[in-house]
Amino acid sequence: MEPDNVKILSLKYEIEKNLGLHDQAYESLKALQNIDTLSTKTRERLAESHFFHGRFSEAKLLLEQIDKTALSARSRLALAASMWELGEKDEAQEIVDQISLN
């Protein structure tokens, strides 16, 4: 992995996201994930982008691969929302209940 490539793709993603270029930002995140496969932050961002694009199964799968204690509240909520959209309403409600307790 080239650290400079990670920095450039991260910056490219941030610029595209801030400009509202969601499709381009999504592609940048997928490229970033290919070279920075272990980054929790990248995985969370990509899962959020999957959710934005209606790819709930992909978002759920990606978030479930991350240690639950490492997930941000926002990512746990994205996981719950993805599960809800996939018809897993009881499991989604459990996650939302856990978030509300913290």
Query: Under DSSP, is residue 38 helix (H, G, I), strand (E, B) or coil?
Result: coil
Report which of residues 102 and 13 the model is more confident about.
13
Residue positions counted in the chain: 102
* CA geometry: angle 65, 47, 91, nearest 5 deg: 65
Mean pLDDT across the stretch 59-69? Answer: 91
pLDDT at 1: 47
What's the maximum distance between 2 C-alpha atoms anywhere in the chain?
Answer: 43
> Rounded to two decimals, what is the model's pTM?
0.81
Indicate the Cα dihedral angle 33, 36, 39, 41, nearest 10°: -50
- Express each pLDDT in 9-49 by its tens digit: 999 999 999 999 999 999 999 999 888 888 888 899 999 99
